Structure 1
């Protein structure tokens, strides 16, 4: 009641209301500045601490001084200026200490700072009261003084503690209210402790003078000015931070990855991509611990790209890739982190698909060559016995040619499906490419492999309904056994292939086991094919030259270039063995070009302008660029066109007579002569002679070897020579080895000869004009 009586009877209520206004506004500002200081980094804390000390001290002092001006004890009063100024300084220092202590990181820092605030307010109040002077007797009530101190300390500690609580209404509302109550309780309880007994009563002492009113207004104005400065600074800082947050929000929202800003272990900002990953509505993640959304977040280190999982609320955890960056230092020294979270589901699915494609055929879904080789290596290491089946589809090319590749792909997928269905436990089927399949079959006996092959063959032959037709493929299967046929995986594959090719060429069986003796010929063909490529790349071919001479005069008319393939041991492989293989594999084109270029180059360097004859393969003759190639070689080597003679066989013209004739005419236009080689062994000699005007006919060597065998050979030779004479085409007889053969040809009017009688082929052409001495005077 004493406090209330003091308030209602001894104070001017108008000034009390002004003091209360200052107190309320100042308490709100002080609370905001304390929170700002507490949340600022150590580097940015000092300016806010200074501003808080100024604003808080001014608030307390202005509230106290205006309230003191409102106090009317019934006597004239005055205030000592030094003590009054000292009380303002104490208020500012006390607020600075209180805010600084409350913002520290030790336990109970806020209540300790609040207690310091209460003590500072108390010191300011009683220093200010000591500046009070009047013509009266001043009596203090110690109980009220103690009560005011307790109220200030307890209220300050409670207010600062509440100011650190982020729950709704506590920090923004309850903390300022407690500060107001603390200041009010201190002041009016302290004023209730004061009793003023006038020595000489004054009639005007109870009225508010104009000077006092002006002084109160001035103090209030100064207080509000200081508070306005603090509020303006706070507002500018808040605006700057808001703009920064808006820019950061716009930045992270523009990212396709999830972006999260975390401070004090809680989500402060999250973009739409992250909330979508979490399976929640926007805003639901704000304020929650980051551990609620990201697994093993403690193990994530700034600067490293790491994988984790997001705990989605509406499904299974989402695999993500997270990059963490430490941006600034927040409240209580805790770092502010920015998490970039990338959804890995699409990439992992793509990686699984790529891994699947790397080990499986994209068309059929069967394991591919890589998987097959790995499986074969494992079996070769661990298994005791198994069979490798090399499977090739029959008549598959016909399906592609007749119905197109789309239907062919459907047929391959159909075959693959039935192969998988026919495969038993422990068996393995793969597609190597095209229409080639393989199977690995565990076996105990040899016939187990044959039974498995027959089962797979029947599965392959299952018809497919497509294009209004029933499409069906057969198969040729070669079987190689481990370890009976091979103890190396590569050799086993080769053996199975050899057996498969034998099955493909067989008319009686579709399944063949590998047999070394029967498959050695195929192996030899493969070795020769590989050797041809090596010889071509490393220039291991040679040209030998066989002399051609006139029967009538014995003069050398030219040389035929013969290709030879020398081996490392000095032996030669017969052209009859490697030329057919070169034609089958297409190597005859680069080999033929090499022969033509080398023969022309060497002939161009001869002292005498002898003619050089070069054989053309049917494959070369069918190539449309042959005339251009010949022309280019003649230009490069400098050989005169009339010195080059190209020899072709009859069979080379049969496949496409019109096209071949066109190419030969282009060659004739270059000035090159064309000879028909091996005449008499083809299928349409007379029609060929009629289709193209050859420059020479070469009689095949077989007629010379059979010359002594009976009258038929002599009759054929006479007929050919007569045909050449009637067509005005010179005849050259090959394979002349005896004087009797030469004499017969001279008697029948043959133009030219070549053979061992004139000389064997040599590495270099014999540079001479006549061979009469070597042939017992051929002329």
Structure 2
């Protein structure tokens, strides 16, 4: 009752109302500054604490002294200036300390800071009351003083706690300001209820209450302006910083190529133009909705990156990648959640394309090698008991001819057409893939060889059908090799290897386009590989040697030259015939270093002869394809000292058909050195006449087969006469090979043949002494590799 009696009977209620208004305004500013200080960066905190301390201290001080102006004790009063000013300083210092404590990270920081603020209010109040003097005696009620201090502590702690833990941001400010106002009012009026005044007799010259009130009014007005100025300044600073921050955030938001969505309290408050375009609806149609409504399977928590589906305004289901991040502070209820939404359609399309390119052939659309190997592994792993797997190795026979004659565009067209035919022909029965170039492969589950052969026949039938391209009928044909699992191999690699072996056998056969794998094929391959290794050793260990077979003039039986022939003296197998190792050397490319050795050894040998006979050296097709061959010959001639006119290079017709223009260019360079060029095995090819017309050969060597058929009928004689007549008309001498009888030699002499070579003339020997027929064991002549 003393509290209410003091408030309503001893105070001017109009001024009390003014004090309350000042208090409410000041506490609202104080709470706003407290929350702003709590959210400020560490470097800016001291400045915000200073602003908050001045505003809060001034609020408490103004509230106290306006309320003191409303106090009517019924006796003259006065205020001691020093203590009055000190009370303001006390309020500011205590408020600074309380804000610093309340902004700490502990969960009790706000309450502790609020209690310190309440203690500061009490300290300011009773310091101000110490400046209050009356004409009489002041009696204090200690109980009321204790209650006032306790209320100030408790309500101060509650005010700061409410400002940090209430619901919405507005509720925090309202609740904090209301409780802080209650703290100041309760302290002041409870403290005033503790005051009792015993009047004294007035003395002349004493200052009147009106004088004190006037001075106090000026002070309160100045401090009130300071409060309002501080609050306004802080509001403007905060607003400016907030606008700058929003402008910067908006700039960042709109500069992002990804869609950005800002959500607060479960509702979208903003988004950038990228998201507007992605969603397909104006911003007004997006703001206010829930992000989960647009992306139902988005990230449940922050700092997660998930793939989800965005349901756009026009009903599309767009794959997106969503990242979420929370941005919380004490001024907001729930803080902001930022969603970054990236359209994945282009990336997924690229990934699908990369996956397709990694698994499929870009030209034909068939699976590629890696995809086929993966399929074959799965097929073997899941092969049912009692069934087998047939692997088909497919190689187009005349595809290179199509490319060379009609161009690569035609070749690509043929590959596409044949790939589609194979895919349709086998249907679901087999898996067809392109390994590269003109090589294909297929696999299928089969019950026996007959089923595999049936499938191969369907493939063969489609591959031999003509392909039409720009009014041209193109036919490739194919060779197909088949290996069976588990009969022929137990692993995918061995199964493919065996199918390749069978395919190469089919390719070498003139009657069969489809071949099954046989164990004998593998044996021959192993033997050829072993011989290739032995050939390398033979070259390194000088196991090769040359033999020389004489060539004579039929007119006077004089020796005109020698043909150098290669032999291999194997340490275990003895002398190996060239027909056994030359094909292996050509297949492996060893013919190039071996051929260089033959040429060099033959030239050095011939340079040491007293007679100036010619030395003839054979050249393989691979050697003629080497553009450095003329330089090599020139180097060997200089090194050996052999005259170029004594060297004769023998080539076959087949060596010209692979790349005629290139080969003829190389031959012209060799001929320019002064070296003779002879056509060997003439008559066995299919372009003899066109070859003779394309290049001026120095000699024609008539193939041995004509001599062997001489006694079998008049056709052989007619053929020999035709060749001799051709040579005579072109002024090219003809040398007949394989002359073994006097009858053959007599016939050649009668028909005007220039030279002869054969067992009748002399067998090949390491020395140049001719071994004539009958003086040594008969053996067929062996051609050289060089």
Verify same fold: TM over 0.5: yes
**Secondary structure at 1:486 match in 2:** coil
The answer to whether residue 485 in structure 2 is matched with residue 482 in structure 1 is: yes
The answer to whether residue 435 in structure 2 is matched with residue 432 in structure 1 is: yes
**Secondary structure at 1:562 match in 2:** strand
The 3 A distance-change label for structure 1 pair 183 and 614 is same
Q: Name the counterpart of 1:645.
A: 648
The 3 A distance-change label for structure 1 pair 102 and 311 is farther
Deviations 1:472-507 (A, max 9, x none): 998765443333333454443344345456667878
The 3 A distance-change label for structure 1 pair 116 and 683 is closer
Residue correspondence of structure 1 range 415-564 to structure 2 within 5 A: 415=421, 417-419=423-425, 421-423=427-429, 428-433=431-436, 436-453=439-456, 478-500=481-503, 512-516=515-519, 524=524, 528=528, 542=544, 544-548=546-550, 557-563=560-566
Shift of 1:422: 3.8
Q: Name the counterpart of 1:303.
A: none
**Secondary structure at 1:485 match in 2:** coil
Q: Name the counterpart of 2:784.
A: none
The whole-number CA distance in structure 2 between the counterparts of 1:568 and 1:600 is 23
The answer to whether residue 414 in structure 2 is matched with residue 411 in structure 1 is: no
**Secondary structure at 1:645 match in 2:** strand
**Secondary structure at 1:126 match in 2:** helix
Shift of 1:254: 3.4
Shift of 1:390: 1.1
Number of paired residues?
750
Q: Name the counterpart of 2:698.
A: 695
The 3 A distance-change label for structure 1 pair 80 and 256 is same
Q: Name the counterpart of 1:58.
A: 58
User: Would the aligned equivalents of 1:396 and 1:473 in 2 still touch at CA under 8 Å?
Assistant: yes
Deviations 1:133-178 (A, max 9, x none): 1113546678976886676456535532332235142234453354
**Secondary structure at 1:169 match in 2:** helix
The whole-number CA distance in structure 2 between the counterparts of 1:682 and 1:448 is 41
The 3 A distance-change label for structure 1 pair 611 and 445 is closer
The 3 A distance-change label for structure 1 pair 277 and 434 is same
The whole-number CA distance in structure 2 between the counterparts of 1:458 and 1:772 is 57
User: Would the aligned equivalents of 1:279 and 1:313 in 2 still touch at CA under 8 Å?
Assistant: no
User: Would the aligned equivalents of 2:267 and 2:287 in 1 still touch at CA under 8 Å?
Assistant: no
Shift of 1:60: 1.0
Q: Name the counterpart of 2:27.
A: 27
The whole-number CA distance in structure 2 between the counterparts of 1:636 and 1:337 is 84
The whole-number CA distance in structure 2 between the counterparts of 1:45 and 1:292 is 41
**Secondary structure at 1:671 match in 2:** coil
The whole-number CA distance in structure 2 between the counterparts of 1:369 and 1:688 is 42
Deviations 1:698-733 (A, max 9, x none): 454456678899999999989988997898755545
The whole-number CA distance in structure 1 between the counterparts of 2:337 and 2:755 is 99
User: Would the aligned equivalents of 1:40 and 1:331 in 2 still touch at CA under 8 Å?
Assistant: no
Q: Name the counterpart of 2:214.
A: 213
The 3 A distance-change label for structure 1 pair 679 and 636 is closer
**Secondary structure at 2:389 match in 1:** strand
The 3 A distance-change label for structure 1 pair 75 and 466 is farther
The 3 A distance-change label for structure 1 pair 500 and 555 is closer
**Secondary structure at 1:162 match in 2:** helix
The 3 A distance-change label for structure 1 pair 409 and 37 is same
Output the TM-score relative to the length of structure 2.
0.70
User: Would the aligned equivalents of 1:758 and 1:771 in 2 still touch at CA under 8 Å?
Assistant: no
Q: Which moved more, 1:6-15 or 1:462-471?
A: 462-471
Deviations 1:359-416 (A, max 9, x none): 4444555543324334444555664541314164879959985993564355245335
**Secondary structure at 2:133 match in 1:** strand
The whole-number CA distance in structure 1 between the counterparts of 2:716 and 2:509 is 38
Q: Which moved more, 1:275-284 or 1:574-583?
A: 275-284
The whole-number CA distance in structure 2 between the counterparts of 1:172 and 1:728 is 120
User: Would the aligned equivalents of 1:706 and 1:713 in 2 still touch at CA under 8 Å?
Assistant: yes
Q: Name the counterpart of 1:673.
A: 676
Provide the aligned C-alpha RMSD in A. Answer: 6.3
The 3 A distance-change label for structure 1 pair 330 and 35 is closer
Residue correspondence of structure 1 range 176-575 to structure 2 within 5 A: 176-188=177-189, 190-191=191-192, 194=195, 196=197, 198-200=199-201, 209=210, 212-222=213-223, 224-225=225-226, 228=229, 232=233, 236=237, 239=240, 243=244, 246-247=247-248, 250-251=251-252, 253-256=254-257, 295=299, 297=301, 308-309=306-307, 320=321, 347=347, 350-351=350-351, 353-362=353-362, 366-377=366-377, 380=380, 383=383, 384=385, 385-390=387-392, 392=394, 397=399, 404=410, 407-408=413-414, 410-412=416-418, 414-415=420-421, 417-419=423-425, 421-423=427-429, 428-433=431-436, 436-453=439-456, 478-500=481-503, 512-516=515-519, 524=524, 528=528, 542=544, 544-548=546-550, 557-563=560-566, 569=572, 574-575=577-578
**Secondary structure at 2:29 match in 1:** helix
Q: Name the counterpart of 2:168.
A: 167
Deviations 1:605-654 (A, max 9, x none): 84457643233457877x6x86x842564157526432332224467789
The 3 A distance-change label for structure 1 pair 549 and 230 is same
The 3 A distance-change label for structure 1 pair 210 and 468 is farther
**In structure 1, which of residues 607, 615, 638 is the aligned counterpart of residue 618 of structure 2?**
615
User: Would the aligned equivalents of 1:295 and 1:308 in 2 still touch at CA under 8 Å?
Assistant: yes
User: Would the aligned equivalents of 1:101 and 1:109 in 2 still touch at CA under 8 Å?
Assistant: yes
Q: Name the counterpart of 1:77.
A: 77
Deviations 1:242-289 (A, max 9, x none): 64665466446534457799999999998776899999967669999x
The whole-number CA distance in structure 2 between the counterparts of 1:317 and 1:653 is 63
Shift of 1:209: 4.6
Deviations 1:321-362 (A, max 9, x none): 8699x9999999x99999988676755664455345434444
Q: Name the counterpart of 2:38.
A: 38
Q: Which moved more, 1:568-577 or 1:258-267?
A: 258-267
**Secondary structure at 2:650 match in 1:** strand
Gaps of 5+ in 2: 776-786
Q: Name the counterpart of 2:128.
A: 128
The 3 A distance-change label for structure 1 pair 140 and 162 is same
Gaps of 5+ in 1: 301-305
The 3 A distance-change label for structure 1 pair 15 and 409 is farther
Q: Name the counterpart of 2:780.
A: none
Residue correspondence of structure 1 range 649-664 to structure 2 within 5 A: 649=652
Q: Which moved more, 1:339-348 or 1:65-74?
A: 339-348
The whole-number CA distance in structure 2 between the counterparts of 1:538 and 1:772 is 28
Deviations 1:559-609 (A, max 9, x none): 4343556778556665446667888x7x78x94697368615862684457
**Secondary structure at 2:595 match in 1:** helix
The whole-number CA distance in structure 1 between the counterparts of 2:267 and 2:41 is 17
The 3 A distance-change label for structure 1 pair 169 and 194 is same
